[in-house]
Amino acid sequence: MSKIILDGIDLDELLEKISEIIEAKLNKAKSNRKKADDTGLLSRKEVCRLLKISLPTLSEYTKLNWLQSYKIGNRVLYKSDEVEAAIDNVCSNKTKKYTN
């Protein structure tokens, strides 16, 4: 293991350099995540985490056509914009007043 000698650098400069390195790493991780999310497809587990429901509940919602699923090979995927639209639809239905 190599030794690091900090000679001629004050604490503020060291903290600033560390801050720059951390910020660069976070920005890189964020851009990599955006690239992965650009497909717009979510797995069943991702949809369950997003909606805070279980896998059987997600299957039931799919059977009721509340959510549209797409089978690609052995995988079942959901379009993220359709999931968000379903959430908006449920939210808007809850705010409507029922008249009898």
In a domain, 50, yes or no: yes
Domain that holds residue 73: 41-86
Decide if 7 is inside a domain: no
Q: How far is CA 81 from CA 43, 49, 77, 85, 97, in A?
A: 13, 16, 12, 6, 26
In a domain, 32, yes or no: no
In a domain, 93, yes or no: no
Question: Does 12 map to a domain?
Answer: no
Say what the pTM is: 0.55
Number of domains comprising the chain: 1
> Does some domain include residue 100?
no
Quote the pLDDT of residue 91.
Answer: 66
pLDDT tens by residue, 24-83: 888 887 776 655 455 689 999 999 998 899 999 999 999 999 999 999 999 999 998 899
* Two tokens, residue 42: 């979510």
Is 96 inside a domain boundary? no
